[in-house]
């Protein structure tokens, strides 16, 4: 594989990336401004979270990880070290800012669902809203915004790296689609967290709208910063791309675990429904990867016919 410095994105890959970023920005804005989304019932929210978690789990393991392995010259130890780094950094981010709890518009955890309804002996969960919903004060939402903003920058970098890697392999309009799907499905939940916390803190509609617009632009900003930063690495751009993909895979695994593991403990009453949603999410991710491989195979086949004497 030639150094990334000699590779330019094909027009179709550029068009895909621009379209992805616009759709992600729109999804993030819609999640923070839609009353219907904020007032989703408990069961629907958990089904959507399980579906999204399945997609992120599948994309991380089936898409990002294999690409990272190839970009890092098939060095498994190095690849997995970057995956672990991505997982641990996202864990620290979650720990510091409680970024991935999901709340209903009234600020209760799990869309109005009280964990005390379950006989697990966790009495403290009734008053403990993961993600800071129990926090008070006009600026209680700032921690969640900061954490999710950093996460969105990482999402933008992951999407840009995925499009760069897929575009290099000739997947055309499908370049980066798996990563895009994982990000776009999750953004409405994240922006809804911020909107919910701001509503609970008494923020004005104008302030909520400004913050929502600002948050919607962060993933595109992360993508632009990633491409700009590649110039710093010179001839090591392939290694930088591989490290970014591996860290994104680790981060996706951490996010999926953060969304899914609490459901295993607290929501056994819907175990079949949530398991089916998780399975569907993984199947969707697998299907996209299969389509990308097929697209790449067709591109290679077409190239061989166009240049029959190429070595």
Instruction: Give residue limits of the domains in the chain.
Output: 15-111+131-296
Residue with the bigger pLDDT between 111 and 45: it is 45
How confident is the model over 136-154, as a mean pLDDT?
Answer: 81
Q: Are 41 and 225 in contact (CB under 8 A)?
A: no
pLDDT higher than threshold 70 for residue 75: yes
pLDDT band for position 107 (cuts 50, 70, 90): very low
The mean pLDDT of the chain is: 76
pLDDT recorded at residue 190: 87
Query: pLDDT (tens digit, 9 = 90+) per residue, 161-174?
Result: 888 887 665 556 67
pLDDT higher than threshold 60 for residue 176: yes
Q: From CA 159, how far away is CA 156, in angstroms rounded? A: 5
Tell me the backbone φ, ψ of residue 109, rounded to 5 degrees. Answer: -70, 140
């Amino acid at each position: 594989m030639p150094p990334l410095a000699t590779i330019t994105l094909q027009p179709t890959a550029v068009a895909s990336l621009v379209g992805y970023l616009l759709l992600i920005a729109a999804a993030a804005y819609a999640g923070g401004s839609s009353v219907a989304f904020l007032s989703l019932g408990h069961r629907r929210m958990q089904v959507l979270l399980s579906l999204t978690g399945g997609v992120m789990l599948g994309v991380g393991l089936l898409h990002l990880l294999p690409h990272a392995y190839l970009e890092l010259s098939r060095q498994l130890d190095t690849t997995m070290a970057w995956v672990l780094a991505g997982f641990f950094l996202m864990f620290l981010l979650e720990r510091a800012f409680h970024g991935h709890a999901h709340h209903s518009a009234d600020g209760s955890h799990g869309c109005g669902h009280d964990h005390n309804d379950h006989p697990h002996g966790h009495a403290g969960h009734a008053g403990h809203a993961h993600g800071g919903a129990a926090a008070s004060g006009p600026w209680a939402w700032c921690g969640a915004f900061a954490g999710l903003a950093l996460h969105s920058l990482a999402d933008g970098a992951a999407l840009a790296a995925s499009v760069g890697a897929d575009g290099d392999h000739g997947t055309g309009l499908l370049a980066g689609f798996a990563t895009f799907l994982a990000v776009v499905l999750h953004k409405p939940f994240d922006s809804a967290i911020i909107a919910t916390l701001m509503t609970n803190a008494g923020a004005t509609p104008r302030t909520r709208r400004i913050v929502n617009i600002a948050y919607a632009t962060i993933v595109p900003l992360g993508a632009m910063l990633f491409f700009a930063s590649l110039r710093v690495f010179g001839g090591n751009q392939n290694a930088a791309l591989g490290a970014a993909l591996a860290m994104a895979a680790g981060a996706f695994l951490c996010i999926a675990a953060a969304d899914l593991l609490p459901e295993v403990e607290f929501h056994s009453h819907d175990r079949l429904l949530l398991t089916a949603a998780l399975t569907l999410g993984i199947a969707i991710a697998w299907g996209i990867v299969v389509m990308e491989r097929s697209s790449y195979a067709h591109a290679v086949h077409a190239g061989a016919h166009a240049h029959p004497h190429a070595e």
